[in-house]
Amino acid sequence: MLHLCHPLERVCDGIIDCAMNSADEQGCPSGCLYDPNLDPYYNYYNGLRNSNISVPTDVYNNFGGNSSSVFDDPSHGWMNATSHDRHVIRFNQLDNTKVKSCHWIIKAPVGKVAVLVIPKMNSNPEHGGGTIHVISGNKKIQNVWSSGPNYFTSKPSQSVTFMMSPLQGKQYLSRIRTHQFEYYIEDIGVCSNQHRCGDGKCVSYHKLCNGDFDCTDLSDEINCPSGCGDQSVRIGSTQGHISSRNYPYPYKGSGDCLWIIMTRSSPGGASLGNQITLQFKDFRTSYHEIIFIFDGVGRNKKINGIFGGNHSPFNVTIASSQVTVMLRSNDGIAERRINAMFHITTSSLIN
């Protein structure tokens, strides 16, 4: 058998270098521990419980109570996932001069996938701790703190890794408050607790209707409400119409409306054209209500224009096959009336 040599610093670094047998990571420590005495939630909720004060069961279970979940020893960095039960890893770390990273590799059995669940965190990495990475195959995803729960599914028979790395410019992790994540295994393509895209990819429910295409078949964004009483995504029509809620009557209320106008049936699909014109026929807002027009969709969209106030009819033309329009209203007092047509033309402003 061919043996490949790896530098010693790659042993127990949380990244599988020995593709054949993962020998460089099996049996490694995670770098972190869990000490209930350092967990204010554990102490707080146990204190309430001991005083016979009612604590919601889900809260209590999440912080130190009896639970149907299996709590794993967080000091081990290699987890062979063997059951469909939810396993919980809870950790904290006070020493800020020694630990270079904490990591847990969740290995799926043959023919199964491992699912990592990161709840909404109770701490901001800017206030200590570290930066979270999730590694699945060759993909490394950074900073999944803000919303949740986030689900990450491994490739079949492979692994998914939860890693906390030092903040930028730091050599070691700083004080980590108590965090936890969960994992379980399931059959390929089941996507329990998640949305299943047409190609079998699993997507967290909170990524549905978020204006970002996470499924190649767009099924996470199709049939979503715009927030203004119609559908958000408009695909493949040569023209259409968007307007504020109750139009032609004014709308008093706060909240966003989001429309995505696309000339294509899918990101890689055939295009009707690559120029979209928005004809605003009626535009009356206060300055608390702003309409943003973006070139593109999702995280990579670029701002093209911002409009507020009262305007006589005007046009906005965007040289793009994908346009995002967001109407943002910050209070419930002002009145808005917006009415626009969109047109898709086959000529291009770029060429």
**CA quadruple 184, 83, 191, 226: dihedral positive or negative?**
negative
Phi, psi of 127 (to 5 degrees): -100, 25
Contact 92, 177 (CB under 8 A): yes
- Among 220, 242, 257, 276, indicate the residue that binds Ca ion (CB under 5 A): 220
Contact status: 230 vs Ca ion (CB under 5 A): no
**Alpha carbon distances (Å) from 27 to 72, 99, 246:** 15, 18, 62
Q: How far is the CB of 293 from Ca ion (least distance, A)?
A: 20
Contact status: 295 vs Ca ion (CB under 5 A): no
The rounded Cα 14 to chain-centroid distance in angstroms is: 22
Residue whose structure tokens are 């639970």: 67
Contact status: 246 vs Ca ion (CB under 5 A): no
309 Rama sector, left if φ>0, alpha if ψ -120 to 50, beta otherwise: left
Tell me how far apart the alpha carbons of residues 164 and 100 are, in angstroms, rounded to a whole number: 9
Nearer to Ca ion, 41 or 78 (CB): 78
Contact status: 30 vs Ca ion (CB under 5 A): no
Number of residues that bind Ca ion (CB under 5 A): 10
Contact status: 196 vs Ca ion (CB under 5 A): no
- Among 26, 43, 193, 210, indicate the residue that binds Ca ion (CB under 5 A): 210
Contact status: 207 vs Ca ion (CB under 5 A): yes
Contact status: 289 vs Ca ion (CB under 5 A): no
Contact status: 10 vs Ca ion (CB under 5 A): yes
Contact status: 13 vs Ca ion (CB under 5 A): yes
Stretch that binds Ca ion, among 62-70, 214-222, 283-291, 336-344 (CB under 5 A): 214-222
DSSP code, position 205: G
In single-letter form, the type of residue at position 252 comes to K
Tell me how far apart the alpha carbons of residues 280 and 261 are, in angstroms, rounded to a whole number: 15
Contact status: 24 vs Ca ion (CB under 5 A): yes
Contact status: 17 vs Ca ion (CB under 5 A): yes
Interaction mask 62-81, Ca ion, x per CB under 5 A: --------------------
Contact status: 214 vs Ca ion (CB under 5 A): yes
Nearer to Ca ion, 131 or 159 (CB): 159
In single-letter form, the type of residue at position 237 comes to S
Strand-pair partners of 257: 327
Q: Which residues bind Ca ion (CB under 5 A)?
A: 10, 13, 15, 17, 24, 207, 210, 212, 214, 220
